[in-house]
Amino acid sequence: LMYLDHLASTPLDPAVLEEMLPWMGVAAAGNPHAAGHRRGWRAAEAIERARGDVAALIGARAGEILFMSGATEANALALLGGVPEGWPVLCSAVEHPSVLACVGELARRGHATETLPVDAAGRVDPDAVRIDGPALVSVMAANNEVGTIQPVADLARRCRERGGLFHTDAVQALSTGLLDVAAMGIDLASLSGHKLYGPMGIGALYVRQGVAVRPLLFGGGQQGGQRPGTLPTALCVGLGAACRIARERGAADAARLRELRERLFAVLADGVPGLRRNSPSAEGMGLAGCLHVAVPGLDAADRLLDLPELALSTGSACSSGEGGPSHVLLAMGRSVEDAFGSIRIGLGRFTTAEEVDRAGALLVEALQRGS
């Protein structure tokens, strides 16, 4: 099976697994919050080292990182816990459902909310952020369906000029790129382990020093009470290792993936009449490993079931259960037909050129068969 669904989830890097394993065995038993013995201290030390590695990837300080169960939780804490009483809340039309649903919940709680439109490439125009006073603005760093990279530094500046707070769901941007939260003026940022070759079930929220979030959970006071609960040592260590590796090799991975992506696109464009690219092609506008294309007349969900050798996606894993057309493609002005006739290919760190060539040939054959 060729795994080409890296936007849905990345495999655990073997180097990350190796660092996690010692923290999963009998010898590692011990609560990292147990103050009374060496086992607890050692686990706590490992977790704090990992916190430092997460912080380093995004230009933050260790004390600004809260470990979470994943980005769904991080987005919820940022939005539900981070918004001050009575502030308006703005987000883009192409956010992940875990952001959109929180903004919906804030509307039910009485906040004024607004959805920022995107252009045909999926980008938010910073000039479209029209706020007279403080607001919470949430725009993702990169989109999980089409890979569009957002101008978060400009958006954050707009927001700051009005005394507001800027949150970014940075989940998709971190395996191949760097986000400098300090330089970009970001107040809150969400991360997820299984999108950067770390483990599933762990993520983090960056909370800029001085920004207050109200906790969603209550308990033993761990992580300053902002997110209580016993921390999973192995998962925290894994997230830290994944962030350290992303920092070391993210730029090189991106360059290689961009080349593979263009190689695959050339094969598809050549072999499939009428194929159009939904993911941005301009340098710096889209994620290196993401290729999203529309094929006229294709019902992607049906046709791709015939390709058992390929793991790729006809939408995003998070909304495909609902069966509707992608809200991202519709917001970009695509037709419902295009939204159903699109496929998303996500290349990753361990994807080889041979795999890309074989996948290209298989796809061309399958797509020609039906159109």
- Annotated catalytic residues are 318
Q: At closest approach, how far in Å is the CB of 332 from ligand PMP?
A: 16
- Do the beta carbons of residue 92 and residue 123 sit within 8 Å? no
Q: Which residues contact 26 (CB under 8 A, 6 or more apart)?
A: none
Which position's Cβ is nearest ligand PMP?
70
**CB nearer to ligand PMP: pick between 194 and 303:** 194
Query: Interface residues with ligand PMP (CB under 6 A)?
Result: 70-72, 96, 98, 140, 144, 169, 171-172, 192, 203, 318
Instruction: Give the whole-angstrom CA distance, residue 76 versus residue 64.
Output: 17
Q: Which residues contact 265 (CB under 8 A, 6 or more apart)?
A: 277, 281, 291, 293
**CB nearer to ligand PMP: pick between 150 and 275:** 150
Q: At closest approach, how far in Å is the CB of 199 from ligand PMP?
A: 10
Q: At closest approach, how far in Å is the CB of 159 from ligand PMP?
A: 19
**CB nearer to ligand PMP: pick between 158 and 167:** 167
**CB nearer to ligand PMP: pick between 94 and 268:** 94
Instruction: Give the whole-angstrom CA distance, residue 217 versus residue 219.
Output: 7
**CB nearer to ligand PMP: pick between 122 and 203:** 203
How far, in whole angstroms, is CA 308 from its chain's centroid?
26
Instruction: Give the whole-angstrom CA distance, residue 369 versus residue 242.
Output: 41
**CB nearer to ligand PMP: pick between 19 and 169:** 169
Q: At closest approach, how far in Å is the CB of 342 from ligand PMP?
A: 17
DSSP symbols for 68-125:
ESSHHHHHHHHHHTTSPTT--EEEETT--HHHHHHHHHHHHTT--EEEEP--TTSPPP
Q: How many residues does the chain have?
A: 371
Q: At closest approach, how far in Å is the CB of 26 from ligand PMP?
A: 29
Q: At closest approach, how far in Å is the CB of 176 from ligand PMP?
A: 14
- Do the beta carbons of residue 33 and residue 220 sit within 8 Å? yes
What's the Cα-to-Cα distance from 286 to each of 61, 185, 206, 257, 329, rounded to whole Å?
28, 21, 23, 12, 15
